[in-house]
Amino acid sequence: MEIISQYGSWLVWITAAFGFFMAFGIGANDVSNSMGTSVGSGTITAKQAIIIALIFESAGAYLAGGEVTQTIKSGVIDPMQFVDTPDILALGMLSTLFASGAWLFIATKMGWPVSGTHTIIGAIIGFACITIGPSSVDWSKIGSIVGSWFVTPVIAGILAYAIFASTQKLIFDTEQPLKNAQKYGPYYMGITVFVLCIVTMKKGLKHVGLNLSNSETLIISLAISLIGMFFFHFYFKSKIFTQSANKGTFGAVEKVFSILMLLTACAMAFAHGSNDVANAIGPLSAVVSIVNEGGKIVSGGALTWWILPLGALGIAVGLITMGQKVMATVGSGITDLTPSRGFAAQFATAMTVVVASGTGLPISTTQTLVGAILGIGFARGIAALNLTVIRNIISSWIVTLPAGAFFAIIIFYVLRTIFN
């Protein structure tokens, strides 16, 4: 309690700096890999990806603001265990932010797409173990997270393989690929919109009081998807599309999938923002709340007005300055992507998110997307995969949890020495 009363304002400023650093890492790594397929396939440019990411990530994060402090624990520890030692929790949140930012920075420099959520969970485990003890950690939750490393990428890979194979059989490996793209394109559009609506309502809008039942969500999603399917049925046969299609058969076919992929990228950025961006501003919000309450820990709390803009700025700076490396790894380092292949990967990721949300399976969007891209590579043949890059990515996943814990322990002891 003495630390909070003596250094309260300093704690807020330092946590803000560390929160910016964590947001920087999320922008450079997490946001970059979610946009990597769109850029790598040539659907959008890196500059357009940055603009899309900023708009939809920020919108998602803003709508998730009411639940932001829940991200502190991620089901791993309960902050109320620190009710008698709020200064320890404050220093723990500081160390968690810096440790997560440090690992994301290192991973980004190496071009490794890693999970920001898993990074911060590892950091929380580290400081919890050395303060309260290993018993304070819900180890069953950790087991589920480790299991998700294997389950969700496999699910996404199988789905991506199936989607890619269907586009090859129905469209690309036919005598009239453009005509078949115009024929089957609206159906792909309808299915895509249906899944993205479910993702948005279940994952992206779950924090705004939109308490829809599963049946209501399905009915609304189906209605919107049917509207989208009819619209694109006429668009793909319109003069506007036909004139652009005359520039080249396969180029025109890929344009159909470019539209699908852009929709998917926007929806996934929104869902990512509503869930994962809170990793940076959640711990910061916790420290600000503890200081403002004079050392009292509350289970929930309103988001201070300047925290979200700080997080958004950190994400923007990270994405602009360092995002290219992870984009390159996801977009072209694993296997070569075209709009149709990239769409299959993104769509498989969205479908896996829906499955995971419905079953309660813990999920990392990063690992799911990489699994989907691997599925595309396998569909093209093992020679189409860069096995060295894949080995490095999987190794980085395994190291993420202990790396977060290791950095958090070191930073916690350093901070405690400084403030004591």
Mean pLDDT along residues 14-33:
87
Please say if the pLDDT value at position 161 is more than 90: yes
pLDDT class for 151, splitting at 50, 70, 90? confident
Residue 51: which of 242, 314, 252, 320 has the closest Cα? 320
Higher pLDDT, 44 or 272: 44
Please say if the pLDDT value at position 106 is more than 90: yes
Give the pLDDT of residue 209.
62
Give the pLDDT of residue 225.
93
Give the pLDDT of residue 245.
60
pLDDT averaged over every residue in the chain: 81
Give the pLDDT of residue 69.
44
Residue 281: which of 22, 53, 29 has the closest Cα? 22
Higher pLDDT, 239 or 12: 12
Please say if the pLDDT value at position 82 is more than 80: no
Mean pLDDT along residues 125-148:
82
CA torsion 267→270→275→278, rounded to 10°?
Answer: 160
Are the C-beta atoms of 318 and 35 separated by less than 8 Å?
no
pLDDT in tens, 303-346: 677 887 888 788 878 888 888 888 888 887 888 888 888 889 98
Give the pLDDT of residue 175.
86
Give the pLDDT of residue 107.
92
Mean pLDDT along residues 363-384:
86
Give the pLDDT of residue 248.
53
CA 208 to CA 204: how far, in whole Å? 9
pLDDT class for 403, splitting at 50, 70, 90? very high
Give the pLDDT of residue 236.
82
Give the pLDDT of residue 71.
45
pTM reported for the whole predicted model: 0.83
Mean pLDDT along residues 414-420:
85
User: pLDDT over 90 for what percent of the chain?
Assistant: 19
What token pair was written down for 314? 């950190």
Please say if the pLDDT value at position 301 is more than 70: no
Region label for 74, one of left (φ > 0), alpha (ψ between -120 and 50) or beta (otherwise): left
Of 11-25, 67-81, 119-133, 178-192, the one with minimum mean pLDDT is: 67-81
Of 7-11, 71-75, 168-172, the one with minimum mean pLDDT is: 71-75
Domain locations along the chain: 2-419
Please say if the pLDDT value at position 244 is more than 70: no
Task: Find which of 233-247, 347-361, 378-392 is predicted with most confidence, using mean pLDDT.
Answer: 378-392
Give the pLDDT of residue 126.
92
Are the C-beta atoms of 24 and 314 separated by less than 8 Å?
yes
Are the C-beta atoms of 35 and 265 separated by less than 8 Å?
yes
Please say if the pLDDT value at position 42 is more than 90: no
pLDDT in tens, 204-235: 566 566 677 888 888 999 999 999 999 988 88
CA 118 to CA 362: how far, in whole Å? 10
CA angle 415, 419, 420 (to 5 degrees): 110
pLDDT in tens, 258-287: 888 888 888 777 777 766 666 777 777 778
Give the pLDDT of residue 192.
87
Give the pLDDT of residue 169.
92
